[in-house]
Amino acid sequence: MDACNAQSGEDKKIIVRAKTDDHSLCVTIDNTFSGSLDIDQERHFVSSKHEGLGLGTESIKSIAEKYGGVCKFEANNGMFYASVMCFKDHA
């Protein structure tokens, strides 16, 4: 939300999609974004608000790992994309 709120102009958006079936949950969140992503040597996102890693992305990674899932983050053409898939029978 912070990255989207920081945008100027009227083309701000956050798109949330979720899908579930008997065995998995998939959630994607896309939002407008300008700036750059700071990634450390271990491929973790570094926070733009405080010292250390980004709390949001690290929390998502932790949840995905807990449920045997995967997550992916990327930025392209003024959008930030976060995707996570978790599996029900893994916890």
The pTM of this model reads 0.76
pLDDT in tens, 30-44: 988 876 777 777 777
pLDDT of residue 33: 82
Distances, alpha carbon 29 to alpha carbons 43, 56, 70, 79, in Å: 20, 12, 14, 10
Residue 73 has pLDDT above 60, yes or no: yes
Q: What is the mean pLDDT of residues 47-65?
A: 74
Residues 12, 14, 15, 16, Cα dihedral to 10° = -170
Distance of CA 15 to the CA centre of its chain: 12
